[in-house]
Each structure stands twice: as structure tokens, then as C-alpha cells.
Amino acid sequence: MVTEYVRMSEDEIDQEAIRRAGKILREGGLVAFPTETVYGLGGDALQPESSRRIYAAKGRPSDNPLIVHICRLSDLPAIVDEIPPQAQALAERFWPGPLTMIFHRSSLVPTETTGGLDTVAVRFPSNRIAMALIDAAGGYVAAPSANRSGRPSPTLARHCREDLDGRVEMIIDGGQVGIGLESTIIDLTGDEPTILRPGFITRPMLEQVLGEVQVDSTIFTADSHQAPKAPGMKYRHYAPRGELVICEGNRDDVISYINREAAARGLLGHRTGVICTDETRGAYRADVVRSTGSREDELAAARELFRILRDMDSEGVEFIYSESFEEGALGQAVMNRLMKAAGHRVADVSGPRT
Ligand code: TXA
Ligand code: MG
């Protein structure tokens, strides 16, 4: 298959290309497109065969359910069996935007799309290219992140090209995404609202609307015996090819630890990389040093993380050392992705060394 590339911006939507993309989706084809979080790999959510094709293109296990994207609140009732008042309140506050809610599904949604579950994840993105595409496709677009399974989610169209060229009919280039981490997922089907994946919409923001909100305990553990409630969270994710270690401790200890480790690897002929911030980048000695931006910029690490992980791959880096990014509103979401990328390898480097 030859993949067609089109480019547009939210301010200047190419209506003709959107019509063609919509037709591709309605005929069962696949289109990668920008959202405000990460690029999505879209197929018609109501056609079982489209969902099968998405799994095949991603190389993704088919028990990992897809998110159904809508572009109007009035399209929600058809795909869910009821809309609880809590969901109504969250939709009013956060949609369109980077929040995914889990509902009991209606029979309109094929089990291929929901990975066999009787629940369905729904998101109403705010990116205008995404909205135009969903509308042109008939209203319901299933879209996982547009990466091959296991790789970092795409934040640029060229990441989609790296992973999906020749596997999808079209890739829409809408520039770099704004947020850079996938949507927050909240499950409203249990006794208590529970966050299954942290993101730009944080727990305090959700609690302002709902009162107390739980967090799925598997979000930060490496315990493989406990199954996460979002099936996709159990898979190895975001992983660069090199071995990644997160280094925690005070700033000077982290810098000297990383420089020492990188020097030792370098002597053995390995390529080394560092993920840091503007405040520290000048202090590191490694083959590839990448800053996520200033620590003052709360959104920077989220926006740049996946791109930097991919850059480490294209630079052939074998050992990657990362600073920790716990602070700030998005700290939880960033650390959740970084911990997965690192396979939970953390070096605590603070305190006296003997
Ligand atoms: O920001 C996003 O959400 C992006 C963009 C493209 O919209 N999409 C995305 O999709 O991140 P994906 O497939 O990469 O991640 C979806 C996550 C998976 O962890 C999956 O297991 C979980 O959502 N999920 C989907 N349906 C679910 C359900 N019914 N119950 C529990 N978890 C579900
Ligand atoms: Mg994904």
C-alpha cells in the first residue's frame, strides 16, 4: 500500500483532503491524524474489520481495547447504554479535550473495537483537524496512538511515518501536538470513579467536579501479578531500544552519577544519552544530551518526552540516563510514561556514597 501524505493546520483545514480521508475511513481504511494529545491511528469504530486492521497495522494484541473518538456530545448516547450524571458533569467541564471516559457500551459498538469488553472508552478531542475528520468519517473513529505497539506515542507526523508508512492509506500532518501525552482515562463503570491512566486532566481537576476520585493502583507499580484495569497499561510501552535508567536524587548527585556512568559506558565503546532540562544540560558529558526544556515550564517535559525517546533510537544510543520529572501538575503523568519506558529501572543516587 502507498501511504498518501497531506499537510494542514488547525487554522487552515484542507476540506478536500478531509473529505477524502473521511471516505477512506467509511470504506474501512486507516488514516493517522493529529489530536491535542498524540497522533491517532484512525479507523471506523463501528466496523469490526476496521478495528482488525488497526490491530494488524499497529502489531497490537487484539485484547487491548480502542478508544472511540466522537465530535459531538449528541453522538454519545448511541454508543453507550447510559450516561451517568458524573459523566455528564465531566463532559460539560472537559469535552472537547484530553479526557477519555469508560462507559458500558451499546450493541452498536462491535466487540472487536472494545477488545471483547462490554465497556467502551470514549473521547471527544479538541483538535480541529481531528474533529473535522471524525465528522467526515460519520461520527465514530476508533483511534489508538499511531505508533507500532511498544514504541513511544507519536507527537509529530514523521513519527507516524516511521512506524506506519505503507500500512495506512493516509497520514495527516498537523505539526507537533500540543500536550504530548495520551489522554487521562477515567472509569465510571465501577462503584467509584477511578483514573486508569494519568494525563493532562489531573486528579485534582477531576475531583473539583466529582469529589473523591480513586487512582488505579497499578499505574506506578512494576507488579505484573496485578492486572491493570486499562488492559493496554500492562504492555511494555514507550520503550526506546537503548536501556533507560531514571536517576533520582539531588541535582548535583544526579549529575555526577550520570557523568560517571556515561563515562564508564563510553570507555567500553557504547553510545550514551542523557534526558535532562535546560537548567542542567551544560553539565552533562554524553554522546547525546537532550533537554525537555526549562523546569519552570510545567508542560515541557510532557510535550517533549516521546520525541526525545525516539531521537535516542535514531541516534543509536545504547544507554540512556534520565533526570526525574516528578514535580509540577503533569509530574504523575510524565513519570508514569517514563517509568514504563525505563521498565521501572530507577537509580536512587542521593546521599553519601561509600
Ligand atoms: O490521547 C489518547 O487517548 C490517544 C489519542 C489518539 O486519542 N489515544 C490513545 O489510545 O492513547 P491507545 O489505544 O494508545 O490507549 C488506549 C488505552 C489503552 O491502555 C486501553 O487498554 C485503554 O485505553 N482502554 C480502552 N478501552 C478501554 C475499556 N473499555 N476499559 C478499560 N480500558 C480501556
Ligand atoms: Mg498507545
Q: In what order do the strands lie in the sheet with 170-173?
A: 4-7, 170-173, 31-33, 40-44, 141-142, 67-69, 119-123, 99-104, 184-187, 194-197, 214-215
Q: Is 249 helix (H, G, I), strand (E, B) or coil?
A: coil
Q: Compute the distance between CA of residue 58 and CA of residue 151 in angstroms, rounded to an integer.
A: 10
Whole-model pTM over 0.85: yes
Tens-digit pLDDT string for the chain (354 aa): 999 999 999 999 999 999 999 999 999 999 999 999 999 999 999 999 999 999 999 998 878 899 999 999 999 999 999 999 999 999 999 999 999 999 999 999 999 999 999 999 999 999 999 999 999 999 999 999 999 998 999 999 999 999 999 999 999 999 999 999 999 999 999 999 999 999 999 999 999 999 999 999 888 776 656 677 777 666 667 889 999 999 999 999 999 999 999 999 999 999 999 999 999 999 999 999 999 999 999 899 999 999 999 999 999 999 999 999 998 889 999 999 999 999 999 999 986 655
The protein residue whose alpha carbon is closest to atom 7 in ligand 1 is 40
Ligand 1 pocket: which of 80, 100, 197 to mutate (most atoms within 8 A of CB) = 100
Alpha helices in the chain (DSSP H): 15-26, 48-58, 85-94, 128-137, 157-164, 203-210, 251-267, 300-314, 331-341
Residue nearest to atom 17 of ligand 1 (CA): 232
Ligand 1 proximity of 42 Cβ (cutoff 6 Å): no
Would you say the CB of residue 129 lies under 6 angstroms from ligand 1? no
Q: Which residue has the cell 494484541?
A: 61
Is the CB of 102 inside a 6 Å radius of any atom of ligand 1?
yes
The SS3 assignment for 252 reads helix
The alpha carbon of 123 and the centre of ligand 2 are apart by a number of angstroms equal to 14
What is the number of the ligand closest to the CA of 235? 1
41 lines ligand 1 (CB under 6 A): no
